[in-house]
Structure 1
Amino acid sequence: MFIFLNKELSLGKTIYPKKNDIFNAFKFTPFEKIKVVIIGQDPYYHYNQAHGLAFSVLPTYKPIPASLKNIYKEIKNNFNYVNVPNNGYLKKWADQGILLLNSVLTVESGKPNSHKNIGWEIFTNTIIKIINHYKKKVIFVLWGNYAKRKEKIIDNTQHFLLKSSHPSPFSANHGFFGCEHFIKINTLLKKLGKKPIQWF
């Protein structure tokens, strides 16, 4: 992976996120703090978006990406919130124990899925397997068919699985809206004696 990335950079290609941000999901949510894992696919591919957390964008980026807007809409409906955040920065979630894990951790500028099959999937699947094996009662959130394929490496007798369609505008109306995953996460955390997530 890193040989590939260094070669791409040497050719003058722009890679997102920045090198120092690639592993932010693990920096912000260390292993011992993981309560929830939300699995994404690959990073946003435009300037000033990706910073190492699935679904999250840097606070200065506008507008909020469409999938994240739909996530906010579902949270708002789950809890009857009046307002939603004015940015898409989800570090607050990561700080509370949500591992926001993309399957692929880098992307070439302007080219979605450009770093598929360079080795990231093996790395992130190994992370999921480690969490599955060494932790108990983690809530895994699988949105869309890509994320649902990770179900085969998660033991649903030891962990919780929440599944729905992807929050993308193309699929949110096919099961994401109304899934109530955010209130379900907090209900499960309370039953486990853990602090619920403050979403907004």
Structure 2
Amino acid sequence: MSATPVADALAAFRASGSPWLALPFFGNGTAEAVAARVDERIAAGARVLPAPTQIFRALTETPLPAVRAVILGQDPYPTPGDANGLAFSFVGSGRLPASLKVILAEAGSDRAAGGDLTAWARQGVLLLNSALTVEAGKAGAHLRFGWARLTDEAVAAVSARPEPAVFLLWGAQARARAALIDQTRHGVFESGHPSPLNRARDFPGSDPFGRANRWLAEHGDQPIEWRLD
């Protein structure tokens, strides 16, 4: 294994020629600084998740010109094997995470279909976390590593495009980014976090997926198939 797996993953992403590379994060040295910091943790013995090849997967699966909707998460699941680089997406062998169960119920999905949200990403749903890495057993470990700059810039870049998109902002951290969005041109639908720990219980029944599809239809776009079958 390389001594710098995250830096190598960044180099591979650069080689892909992704439109996201135009973000300042990738042009002013911030990406390299964040990758180096994560690689330092790996060198110190930390198990970093997800696999290096999946760290930039949200940007790879949903290029900037393809974005039709944006969903923001916090950081990857901290259990090895659970995360695949897309916010809220679950590919583990255990029970679905509690928040994802609530999300899928709101989307009308059968739990038996699992929790892999790749199908959403490939329809133009940017599933981006505030931190693209985490350490095994340590949720939130990399939230202050600098990844959030990428998330802010990605939201602003989608907002700056002429094409309309919908932003589904769940919970305080995501809702704080509403200030980065031109709400005269884009749809913004806010609610509480889907976590069962959210005492307000203001996510169930908020109909984010139906509202998003109605907004897209009103602006000449096709609906997103949110159900996982």
What TM-score do you get using the length of structure 1 for normalisation? 0.92
Post-superposition offset of 1:172: 7.1
Structure 1 residues 29 and 87: CA distance shift in structure 2, 3 A = same
Tell me the equivalent position of 2:125: 98
The alignment partner of 1:141 has SS state of strand
For 2:162 and 2:96, the matched residues in 1 are separated by: 33
Q: Report how many aligned residue pairs link the two structures.
A: 194
1:31 is the counterpart of 2:90: no
CA contact (8 A) 2:74 2:130 kept: yes
Tell me the equivalent position of 2:115: 88
Post-superposition offset of 1:88: 0.7
Matches within 5 A, 1:56-75: 56-58=89-91, 60-75=92-107
Tell me the equivalent position of 2:220: 193
Structure 1 residues 160 and 172: CA distance shift in structure 2, 3 A = farther
Tell me the equivalent position of 1:55: 88
1:178 to 200, 205, 216: 205
For 1:132 and 1:19, the matched residues in 2 are separated by: 28
Structure 1 residues 99 and 172: CA distance shift in structure 2, 3 A = farther
1:116 to 128, 133, 143: 143
Amino acid across the alignment from 2:212 = I
| Structure 1 consecutive aligned stretches of length 4 or more whose deviation exceeds 6 Å | none
The alignment partner of 1:166 has SS state of coil
Q: Which runs of 5+ in 1 are unaligned?
A: none
CA contact (8 A) 2:87 2:127 kept: yes
Identity %: 37
The alignment partner of 1:197 has SS state of coil
Post-superposition offset of 1:29: 0.8
Amino acid across the alignment from 2:43 = S
Deviations 1:117-137 (A, max 9, x none): 111011211111111112432
1:11 is the counterpart of 2:44: yes
For 1:55 and 1:119, the matched residues in 2 are separated by: 20
Higher deviation after alignment, 60-69 or 167-176: 167-176
Deviations 1:40-88 (A, max 9, x none): 1111111111111000012x43211110100111122xxxx7x444311
Higher deviation after alignment, 159-168 or 170-179: 170-179
CA contact (8 A) 1:129 1:153 kept: yes
CA contact (8 A) 1:70 1:172 kept: no
Deviations 1:3-41 (A, max 9, x none): 111111111210011111001111111111100000111
CA contact (8 A) 1:53 1:101 kept: yes
Amino acid across the alignment from 1:178 = G
Tell me the equivalent position of 1:152: 179
Amino acid across the alignment from 2:81 = N
Post-superposition offset of 1:104: 0.9
Structure 1 residues 103 and 135: CA distance shift in structure 2, 3 A = farther
CA contact (8 A) 1:40 1:147 kept: yes
Q: Which runs of 5+ in 2 are unaligned?
A: 1-33
The alignment partner of 1:100 has SS state of strand
Larger RCO: 1 or 2 (CA < 8 Å, sep 6+): 1
CA contact (8 A) 2:159 2:182 kept: yes
What TM-score do you get using the length of structure 2 for normalisation? 0.81
CA contact (8 A) 1:62 1:87 kept: no
For 2:190 and 2:140, the matched residues in 1 are separated by: 22
Post-superposition offset of 1:115: 0.5
